[in-house]
């Protein structure tokens, strides 16, 4: 795991990232009402307008809440060959938007976290957040 693009393969979805090295998630912001969403959308969910632009989201935030995913999610989730292992998921407060994300390691609500890239399988990667010193 790394905060540079030193992971194998390609993003699980090209639309997720504004850039890869260093990585930043791509959201969209509305010029009319300032609503920011992730993933990026063609229309604003706040005002239904189309005056939205893709933007790189902050790479650090705080844990808003979290839980442990203790059963395998529905497809397209791919169970690892080694079998399902519970993992931590949560919402990360990036200031302008809450992002649902995998979380690497243990966290508490309010912890500072930073964006990371993690492998999905041998050919694809996705994002997660990991606790960092404040």
Binding site for Zn ion (CB under 5 A): 30, 32-33, 35, 44, 46-47, 49
Min CB(97)–Zn ion separation in Å: 13
The tokens for 69 are 């995913």
Min CB(94)–Zn ion separation in Å: 18
Min CB(125)–Zn ion separation in Å: 31
The tokens for 73 are 């999610």
Q: Among residues 12 and 98, whose Cβ is nearest to Zn ion?
A: 98
Q: Among residues 13 and 50, whose Cβ is nearest to Zn ion?
A: 50
Residue appearing with tokens 């809450």: 98
Q: Among residues 18 and 33, whose Cβ is nearest to Zn ion?
A: 33
* 41 within 8 A of 52, measured Cβ to Cβ: yes
What span, in angstroms and rounded, lies between the C-alpha atoms of 95 and 18? 17
**Alpha helix ranges (H) inside 13-97:** none
């Amino acid at each position: 795991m790394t905060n540079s693009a030193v992971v194998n393969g390609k993003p699980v979805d090209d639309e997720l990232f504004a850039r890869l090295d260093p990585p930043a998630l791509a959201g969209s912001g509305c010029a009319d009402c300032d609503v920011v969403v992730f993933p990026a959308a063609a229309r604003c969910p706040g005002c239904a307008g189309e005056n939205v632009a893709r933007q790189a989201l902050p790479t650090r935030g705080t844990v808003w809440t979290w839980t442990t995913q203790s059963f395998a999610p529905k497809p397209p989730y791919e169970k690892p060959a080694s079998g399902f292992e519970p993992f931590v998921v949560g919402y990360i407060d990036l200031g302008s938007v809450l992002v649902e994300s995998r979380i690497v390691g243990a966290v508490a609500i309010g912890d500072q976290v930073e964006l990371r890239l993690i492998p999905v399988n041998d050919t694809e990667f996705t994002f997660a957040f990991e606790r960092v010193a404040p």
